[in-house]
Structures are given as C-alpha cells and as structure tokens.
Amino acid sequence: MATKCGKCGPGYPTPLEAMKGPREEIVYLPCIYRNTGIEAPDYLATVDIDPKSPQYCQVIHRLPMPHLKDELHHSGWNACSSCFGDSTKSRNKLVLPCLMSSRIYVVDVGSDPRAPKLHKACALPLWVIEAEDIHAKCGLGYVHTSHCLASGEVMVSTLGDPKGNGKGGFVLLDGETFEVKGTWEQPGGAAPLGYDFWYQPRHNVMISTEWAAPNVFRDGFNPADVEAGLYGSHIHVWDWQRHEIVQTLPLQDGLIPLEVRFLHDPDTAQGFVGCALSSTIQHFYKNQGGSWSVEKVIQVPPKKVKGWLLPEMPSLITDILLSLDDRFLYFSNWLHGDLRQYDVSDPHRPRLTGQLFLGGSIVKGGPVQVLEDQELKSQPEPLVVKGKRVPGGPQMIQLSLDGKRLYVTTSLYSAWDKQFYPDLIREGSVMLQIDVDTIKGGLKLNPNFLVDFGKEPLGPALAHELRYPGGDCSSDIWL
C-alpha cells in the first residue's frame, strides 16, 4: 500500500522511509510462452508471497494478453515515488511493454490488486497501445524499460526502429489516457542502441545502456556478432532538461551493458551498470567539473570449460539491484549460476559479502566440464528445492523494501533460454526466495519457498521480472 497522508501522492517521500513500508504480500510477474512451442498468449501472474496466507507460494491469478508471441519482459508504473508530492496521482496501473511485438499493455491493478485486469482507457482500443501507433508517431519499436515521470507521463525505452535495426530512443505516453505523445528525445537524437535507463533530476541527468539491435539478438546469441562489434559497449549520458546526449562513455571490459541503477539517494550523482558479456560491474559518477566518468569496479572471471558453446564461459551478469539504503549491491550471474551481494558503502571499492549458487551451467553432472576456475575448487552441486531440481540460473531479482528478502526468477529471454537452458523450455522457470543478512552481509536460501512455473495450467512458462504493488527498489525514483 502507498503511504497515506493528506497531500501525498504514491510511494514514499524518501528511500529510507520506503524501507519502513509494509512487508510484500503479492508479486506480479510476466510469464512468457514465445519460443516454448506452446501456442498461448503471454500472461501476467499474481503470486501470493505472504507466509501467513493459505495460498503462500501459489499463482492466485493469471491475466492473459490478447495476442500471441508478445514477449512480455519488464514492467513499470503509471505513477511512483517520483509523484509523491502530487496527491492527484495514484499507483494503480501497471505498464507492460512487449519486447518483440512492440505493443504496450496497460493493466489495472488498483481495482483488485489480487486480480488485475486489462485497463480500458478512452484513447486505447482493446487496452493496448499498438506497435503501429508507436512506429508512426515515434519511428521506434522493441519497447523495454518503463518509468513514470514527475510530470505524470510514462517513458518507455526502445531497442530498435520498426524494422529491427538498432535505435535507442524513448516513447512518451500520457499518464492518464496512455496516448502516444511522441519521442522524449529531440528529433534525430536517439542513441545508436538502447536497453535500460535511469534518471536523477537533481543532477539534470539520465543514463541509458545498450544491448544490441533486435535483429542481432532476436533468434539467439551468435559469437560472430560480438566479433563484428554488433553488441553494445557504451553508456549514454543525457541532459534531462534538454533531452539530448551530452556524453557517450566507452566501457573498459564493458560488453553488453544492461541494467543501470543510480544510487537511490537523489542527492548523489553516481551509480552502477552491469555488463553482461564482459561480466563486470561499472561504477559511473559525476566529476567536479560536471562531466561524467566510469570505472570498472568488479570483474567476475570467466571459466575455461569444455562441452559448451565457447572455450571460456562468462558469468553473464543479467540483473543488478541496490538496496534502498544504498549499502548493498546485488547481481545475478545467469550462466555461472550464482547470486552475489557486495557492500558498496565505498562505491569505488565494492566488497563481496554474500554468494549463493542457484543452479547454472556448471553444476556437477551436467554437460559442462570446468577445466580452469579462478574462484571455485569444484563445480557446484545442482540445486533441489522442495524436490524440484532447478533448471536455468538466477536472473531477475527483486528485494523487499526492508532489504531482508531477495526474490529470484530464472528466465532471461525466451530465445536465449532455449539456446542456453533447454531444460527451462521443457520444465518452466521457478521463483525462489533468499534471506538476506543486512547487518554483516550474507545470503541464505529459504528451502520452503518455491513457485514452480513448470506446473502452469497451459504448460511450462517462463516467468521474468518481479513487481510489488506498492513499488520497489527498481521501479521507484526519488526527485
């Protein structure tokens, strides 16, 4: 529930106040059927995560989308803590961009949070912003990250143009009617590639990242595309008020910079980005003169292997999170199979405080043999939770407001799931919960928590990003 007061909008006044918010009771997850062989639409699952509930760890509602093969991916809100000062705003719509179809669905989660329904806005036919509308008004497609703005608008990043070539632009939606207003960036001012973004208005800045052109990654990962320089290796610094790029920063060992997180404290001018293929965490920060710099602060070494696609296996850092007090950084190594916690009290020198293996590609008894490992003495054991051997590796992560519970899902993107973890397609993904030591640091698996998306009514599904109804540390931005 959002904070209630006489003149308050949605969310919380500060990140530290958000940490005092109520415990999470339900979570929303997009579930994907594209590339699974199951001819059914993707859907939004509502999962009960209240230990006191008789429906604990169960999917209590499923909202199917009207079309097939959308590839639901990430989600965002119509309003969040960026609108806390506006009492006319309410966090009651979940925005669902579709990575492959370029549609955007709007879901009403306010009328009944435990049973979301597609929202019918007067400007929208069939509760959906169609790809053709985005193509015509913006010249963009392949929509990804959605953030609400203090203006009441909703901004959605893109990875391409309508034909699947690279184009890192931003679609601007009216936050009430959800009509496409046009692009956020200046005409002709899109980045060459796109993916994620985060803004920090007090420093008049936004940072955006790069994956690759949709035509490059759409059907799977080809190492030749890396050699050809087709994957992203830069972050872009934007002037928030002028809507234009002011700096492009090349990354040392920074191939495929995906998720970007500013520190939550809106006075700070620094943050982190996870570079998937290079398996590095990069720290970006504002210099005294007003320009921006970036430095590599964490490197997960690759493992020499046989029985895999390449002779060296990167960890593939696919998601990162910062606790609301900006003390801990979390990230997932989707291929190596471990989840990590670092103390970033000194952002220039992160310190490893927790590590937990949750499946992955190098488990004992699998097809991959590790020949040389700079970190481990032996290959980790497969993970079995409540009798289920967990397929895939840790991927999307979400932290409770108080920082004490971390939730994890195992699907990355359907075509890459199919390529790297065929078991995920056959068995479906899972959702796990990790207990976090917020005093000394440390991670411990909750052995009694398992949501098995392999047992869904229409067949095994690929569950992706996690959202709490009251907001969380990857959706809420403070001004």
pLDDT at 124 over 70: no
Measured between alpha carbons, how far is 471 from 178 in angstroms, rounded to an integer?
Answer: 20
Q: Residue 173: CB partners within 8 Å, gap ≥ 6? A: 95, 104, 129, 153, 154, 155, 156, 179, 180, 181
pLDDT at 125 over 80: no
In one-letter notation, the amino acid at residue 391 is: P
pLDDT value at residue 14: 92
141 versus 471: the higher-pLDDT residue is 141
pLDDT at 121 over 90: no
Average pLDDT for 97-110: 96
Average pLDDT for 85-89: 69
In a domain, residue 77? The reply is: yes
Place of tokens 């692009």: 183
For 142-180, what is each residue's pLDDT tens digit?
999 999 998 889 999 999 999 999 999 999 999 989 999
For residue 461, give the nearest of 33, 71, 38 by alpha carbon.
Answer: 33
Average pLDDT for 60-69: 97
pLDDT at 123 over 70: no
In a domain, residue 41? The reply is: yes
In a domain, residue 426? The reply is: yes
pLDDT value at residue 9: 65
pLDDT value at residue 200: 95
pLDDT at 263 over 50: yes
Task: Read off the pLDDT band of 82 (50, 70, 90).
Answer: low
pLDDT value at residue 7: 55
Average pLDDT for 340-347: 98
Q: Which two tokens stand for residue 7?
A: 């003149």
pLDDT value at residue 90: 80
pLDDT value at residue 184: 98
For 190-208, what is each residue's pLDDT tens digit?
999 999 999 999 999 999 9
Measured between alpha carbons, how far is 462 from 420 in angstroms, rounded to an integer?
Answer: 14
In a domain, residue 346? The reply is: yes
For 447-472, what is each residue's pLDDT tens digit?
999 999 999 999 999 999 999 998 89
For 31-55, what is each residue's pLDDT tens digit?
999 999 999 999 999 999 999 999 9
Measured between alpha carbons, how far is 217 from 99 in angstroms, rounded to an integer?
Answer: 12
Q: Which two tokens stand for residue 151?
A: 């203006």
Task: Read off the pLDDT band of 120 (50, 70, 90).
Answer: confident
Measured between alpha carbons, how far is 133 from 136 in angstroms, rounded to an integer?
Answer: 5
How many CB atoms within 10 Å of residue 320?
A: 24
In a domain, residue 176? The reply is: yes
**pTM, to two decimals:** 0.96
pLDDT value at residue 94: 95
> How many domains does the chain fold into?
1
In a domain, residue 146? The reply is: yes
pLDDT value at residue 10: 66
For 235-260, what is each residue's pLDDT tens digit?
999 999 999 999 999 999 999 999 99
In a domain, residue 469? The reply is: no
In a domain, residue 97? The reply is: yes
Measured between alpha carbons, how far is 138 from 158 in angstroms, rounded to an integer?
Answer: 10
**Contact 281/295 with Cβ under 8 angstroms?**
no
In sign, the C-alpha dihedral spanning 434, 439, 260, 29 is positive
Whole-angstrom CA distances from 151 to 147, 170, 175, 331, 455 are: 12, 15, 9, 31, 42
pLDDT value at residue 80: 77
Q: Which two tokens stand for residue 138?
A: 């913006």
**Contact 96/124 with Cβ under 8 angstroms?**
no
**Contact 143/97 with Cβ under 8 angstroms?**
yes
Q: How many CA atoms lie within 13 A of 310 on its CB side?
A: 14
- Rounded mean pLDDT of the chain? 94
For 265-311, what is each residue's pLDDT tens digit?
999 999 999 999 999 999 999 999 999 999 999 999 999 999 999 99
The residue segments making up the domain with residue 285 are 15-463
Look at 146-150, 210-214, 331-335, 474-478 and tell me which has the smallest mean pLDDT: 474-478
Q: Residue 153: CB partners within 8 Å, gap ≥ 6? A: 172, 173, 174, 175, 181
Q: Find the CATH number of the domain harbouring 134.
A: 2.130.10.10
For 2-20, what is each residue's pLDDT tens digit?
334 445 666 788 999 999 9
pLDDT value at residue 6: 45
> Could you give the dihedral angle defined by the CA atoms of residues 353, 304, 348 and 293, in that order, rounded to the nearest 10 degrees?
-150
Percentage of the chain modeled with pLDDT above 70: 95
